[in-house]
Amino acid sequence: MTQMYTQTKEYWASPDLSLTESDIEQIYNYFLEAERPQPIEKITQVIINHRIAEEKSKLKPRMEGRIIYQPRKQYQVGDKLVFPALQFAHAEVTELRKGTNPQFGEFQVIAVNLNGKAREFSAGLEVEHPLNRGEGMDSIRLEEPDPDALYEQFGEFLNERISAVLEQNNEFIRLAGQWFVRGLMGEINIGHLHLSEAVLEISGGGPLPTPEILVHLDMPKNILPEVQEFSLNYALLNDARFDEVAPPGRVSWFLRRLEPAYVREIPDRLAYKPHAYDRALLGSQMHQLERELDDEWSEFEWATVPRDVTFTLTYPHRAAGTLPLSSRIRPHFPLGISPRQLVSLVDKETGEEIPAWVSAEGRYVGGLTNWYEANDIPVGGYLKVSAGPRPGVVYIDYSRRPKARREWVRLGSIQNGQLAFHLDKRNVGCDYDDLLIVSTEQTTAVDLLFRSGENQRRTLASLLAQMMPSLGESGPQNAVHAKTLYSAVNMLRRTTPGAIFAELIRHPAFQTVGDQYWLFNPQKWQN
């Protein structure tokens, strides 16, 4: 039995595998027959079946005028051979010589040029061998490839490869996991778009699924509903007035101008400007501390599987009413077509549902200001997110207390134009990390200092030098923990733990006293 090339791993797993003009034509024909959008899995299966049929149709012409190689046959120089066991490769006999083997006796050896390489094969060898069975093309039994088995083995790789090729072709469009051909789409004109805007405005901006908008557009009845939906989705996606805000696998639309302000623009408290530093300065303990803090702008690989995550709330996110899209939290909020997404955060204890918005660009989930206030959640408070019952729903929780109790908190205040700290008692509604908890009753003044040009021009080292004396008054030997410095500095500058830790190590005015505690030596200070 002869194996076809389309049954081999070498064929389907080749990094050079691409789509031919014949493949593209086959995909077109498939869409003309199906008349509706299709997932990539279906398109890949079409290509697999097409390639198998194409190889079979080419086999017979490759045999014409050639001798099928069999070890028992005799050959002459100039004979044109075909080798079914080598994907029906062609070769011409260039030389003959005698061969001998104690087991088989004398036989003939033929030299051929096969695909540019000199090869030798046995001839005149009357032995039991699979290649010696039968006579001629009719005797060749092809081992037919199983398209389903091929898809099961190579489908994931082929889906990605074919998608990448189709994305380079302007005639093919992908939306929400479905592909379609531009020429088969329904016409969406400017009137349809204006009417879509009006429908969403009446609905408070959205969200509305596409079918609920389509019922108002009076599309031609001869266009299939799936095509109408795909066509409108494509038109809305390419109009800046509209945002697709549903979790992956669904489509819902919202008017961009009616989205909350914190969605349209990144809150200034969360706006991050990278601070260049040498990560080689950070030792293993600093790396471990950085991983524990899991800042959304730290240089970590994002997790891919959503798991229960407990994390600490930082000042920028407490002030903005947001959650960080950190490396561990991000898998709970997979994005669809749009970089923004409307989700539901559900208080796991009370069942309260909180509409929230995901911003991929800003790496945050917003909409929690009232929830933070109602539950006395402090900076440094422990929060937990876990998977909800369906996509687009995420549980949020915290370590609850029967009643908020007063705890010692580092309070920031503005003194002589600078941020200083002292300890005082305030209500705290949940368990917290004592090294991270900071607060202020002068929110407006702190925000003004945060936004001031003078503060923005200051170096990170000068911020550390200015804050460390007052923070150290409550610490052991007037030392300050690195986590506390990260929390306090972020009241005036949005930056990462790694940048702060590197500055502590780099500058001689900052001296470690062990266990990640640091002292400021003003005698060595030079900004």
Give residue 424's domain range: 405-524
- Please identify, among 128, 145, 170, the residue that sits at the C-terminal boundary of a domain: 170
Indicate which CATH number applies to the domain containing 304: 2.40.330.10
In a domain, residue 491? The reply is yes
Residue 99 pLDDT: 80
pLDDT tens across 238-290, in order?
999 999 999 887 899 999 999 999 999 999 999 999 888 888 899 899 999 99
Residue 361 phi, psi dihedral angles, 5° rounding? -65, -45
Domain identity same for 79 and 61: yes
- DSSP calls for 284-339: HHHHHHHHHH--TTSS-PPPSS---EEEE--HHHHHHTEEE--TTTGGGS---SSS
Per-residue pLDDT of the chain (527 residues; tens, 9 = 90+): 455 667 677 778 888 788 889 999 999 999 999 999 999 999 999 998 998 888 777 766 666 667 777 787 888 888 888 777 676 777 888 888 888 777 777 888 888 888 778 888 888 777 776 666 554 444 444 556 788 888 888 888 899 889 988 998 999 999 878 999 999 999 999 999 999 999 999 999 999 999 999 999 988 888 999 999 999 999 999 999 999 999 887 899 999 999 999 999 999 999 999 888 888 899 899 999 999 999 999 988 888 888 999 999 999 999 999 999 999 999 999 887 778 999 999 999 999 999 999 999 999 999 999 999 999 899 999 999 999 999 899 999 998 877 778 888 999 999 988 999 999 998 888 899 999 999 999 999 999 999 998 888 899 999 999 999 999 987 678 899 999 999 999 999 999 999 999 999 999 999 999 999 999 998 988 76
Q: Fill in the DSSP letter of residue 476.
A: G
Domain identity same for 40 and 133: yes
In a domain, residue 68? The reply is yes
Q: Strand (E) positions, 138-261?
A: 142-143, 172-175, 178-181, 208-209, 242-244, 252-255
Residue 134 pLDDT: 53
The residue written with tokens 């039995």 in the block is 1
Strand partners, 356: 343
In a domain, residue 273? The reply is no
Could you give the number of structural domains in the chain?
Answer: 4
Residue 112 phi, psi dihedral angles, 5° rounding? -135, 160
Asked if 384 and 398 count as a contact pair (C-beta separation under 8 A), the reply is: yes
Tokens of 283: 């030792």
Residue 133 phi, psi dihedral angles, 5° rounding? -85, 145
pLDDT tens across 339-372, in order?
899 999 999 999 999 999 999 999 999 999 999 9
Tokens of 5: 């090339």
- Say how far apart CA 527 and CA 460 lie, in whole Å: 10
Domain identity same for 394 and 471: no
Domain identity same for 145 and 193: no
Domain identity same for 424 and 382: no
- Say how far apart CA 170 and CA 368 lie, in whole Å: 42
Domain identity same for 325 and 420: no
Residue 41 pLDDT: 94
Residue 439 pLDDT: 92
Residue 83 pLDDT: 78
Domain identity same for 66 and 115: yes
Alpha-carbon distance values, 395 to 67, 380, 383, 391 (Å): 71, 19, 11, 11
In a domain, residue 192? The reply is yes
In a domain, residue 290? The reply is yes
In a domain, residue 177? The reply is no
- Say how far apart CA 165 and CA 305 lie, in whole Å: 28
- Say how far apart CA 292 and CA 215 lie, in whole Å: 50
The CA dihedral of 241, 245, 248, 249, to the nearest 10 degrees, is -80
In a domain, residue 144? The reply is yes
Strand partners, 455: none
pTM across the whole model: 0.76
Domain identity same for 481 and 495: yes
Domain identity same for 96 and 151: yes
Provide the b/e sequence for 122-144 (b: ≥16 CB within 10 Å).
bbbbeeeeebeeeeeeeebeeee
Q: Amino acid identity, residue 432?
A: Y
- Please identify, among 402, 423, 452, the residue that sits at the C-terminal boundary of a domain: 402
Indicate which CATH number applies to the domain containing 191: 1.10.10
Domain identity same for 149 and 8: yes
Domain identity same for 36 and 94: yes
Q: Fill in the DSSP letter of residue 46.
A: H
Residue 136 pLDDT: 45
Domain identity same for 201 and 254: yes
In a domain, residue 11? The reply is yes
- Please identify, among 115, 146, 170, the residue that sits at the C-terminal boundary of a domain: 170
